[in-house]
Amino acid sequence: MVERGVFVERRAEVERRAQADRRLYRAAVQDLLAGQVGLTVAEAMWKRTPVVATAVGGIQLQIPSLAHGVTVPVDGEGDPFGAAVRMLLEDSDKRRLLGEQGRDHIRTHFLPDTQLVAEIKFFQQLSTGVMV
């Protein structure tokens, strides 16, 4: 029984260190070929880490404009992905701004309570027949 407690304690320490390390990232990169909502993208944005991601699937909802992060086309000519990462690494003010605005965007649009409020409004509109 003691070993199990020690294991959990060690695991908690590992997770604490991993969380601390993630806060030190200069930028997060998500290079996908197929669309999905990127948990990596949302987590990075929540932690104020600027993001460069491929413009596919739900990632386009998470990063709707250059104010929230940088998206690049899947089949961009040259090296748009590398250029975007390079731009962020060289511009600390841009990184900070994207980090702050990215967190605000995630807080406003993607937290569970935000989703719940949106669903309640939808069902209220549906029940009254008035859709906005």
CB atoms within 10 A of CB 92: 10
**Averaged pLDDT for residues 58-63:** 87
Taking residue 101's Cβ as centre, other Cβ atoms within 10 Å add up to 18
Dist. CA 31–CA 41, nearest whole Å = 10
pTM, 2 dp:
0.67
The whole-chain average pLDDT of the chain stands at 77
H helical segments located in the chain? 2-22, 39-46, 59-62, 80-90, 92-109, 112-128
The pLDDT value recorded for residue 106 is: 92
Q: Which two tokens stand for residue 8?
A: 């959990």
Q: Which domains does the chain have, with CATH numbers?
A: 26-128 (3.40.50.2000)
Q: Provide the 8-state DSSP code for 89.
A: H
Chain-centroid distance of CA 124 in Å reads 30
Higher pLDDT, 16 or 95: 95
State the pLDDT at residue 48. 92
What's the pLDDT at 9? 41
- Choice among 21-25, 68-72, 114-118, 122-126 with the minimum mean pLDDT: 21-25
